[in-house]
Amino acid sequence: SQTIHQWPATLVQPVGSPLSLECTVEGTSNPNLYWYRQAAGRGLQLLFYSVGIGQISSEVPQNLSASRPQDRQFILSSKKLLLSDSGFYLCAWGGRPYGYTFGSGTRLTVV
Amino acid sequence: GDSVTQMEGPVTLSEEAFLTINCTYTATGYPSLFWYVQYPGEGLQLLLKATKADDKGSNKGFEATYRKETTSFHLEKGSVQVSDSAVYFCALSEIGSGGGADGLTFGKGTHLIIQP
């Protein structure tokens, strides 16, 4: 069966520090992968998606970047965090019509 | 562009009450529709889905029917439990929606609180 792993679960980082969040998928090959952010009091916003190794598309201009170094690995990064980067980050894989499977999320607090 | 509108809440009900969470959508094509649930401190779990008009998705006592004529996908449950307390997200997926790889467009979520 397919599983998705995301870590760390929680993270507290100072402003200006770098960020690296990792997501890996098991049990499937060449998945579509996604990074979403859920900011406090707001809905879920698609940040990046990838249809294959090295292929990254950004939905929202921001302080973040994403990379896909391997077929089932998706990384979200930042060189210098801002306060506004705080939120709940979710990795997902899948596509229509079957649906999408989400990881357990990373709660990032920038202080 | 595509969008999803749902009541934000919080919605507070007593145990065993009937639940309806309204969801309407705007899409340029023929989307697939989903309800996701997020329990406190956790990620999102797929609750149910429907891929074409008049399809009814169901799971754990929850139901939603894809109504193309009213562009709606309302979530219902006949008798809620305290364990149903969570945030519920309505979402759609369409090619080009939320990304060229047919990502999801979400509503803002409805916080449901069930009191014993």
Q: What is the pLDDT of residue A99?
A: 78
Q: Per-residue pLDDT for A98 more than 80?
A: no
Q: What is the pLDDT of residue A30?
A: 84
Q: What is the pLDDT of residue B96?
A: 53
- Best of A3, A38, A44, A93 to disrupt the B interface by mutation (most B CBs within 10 Å)? A44
The answer to whether the CB atoms of B93 and A105 lie below 8 A apart is no
Mean pLDDT of chain A: 90
Q: How confident is the model at residue A97 (pLDDT cuts 50, 70, 90)?
A: low
Q: What angle do CA B37, A23, A60 make, to 5 degrees?
A: 75
Q: Per-residue pLDDT for A36 more than 50?
A: yes
Q: What is the pLDDT of residue B97?
A: 47
Q: What is the mean pLDDT of residues A73-93?
A: 94
The answer to whether the CB atoms of A99 and B98 lie below 8 A apart is no
Q: What is the pLDDT of residue B100?
A: 52
Q: What is the mean pLDDT of residues A7-20?
A: 95
Considering only alpha carbons, which residue of chain A is nearest residue B40?
A104
The answer to whether the CB atoms of A95 and B93 lie below 8 A apart is yes
Average pLDDT per run of 10 along chain B, which is 116 residues long?
A: 88 97 92 92 90 94 97 97 96 66 84 96
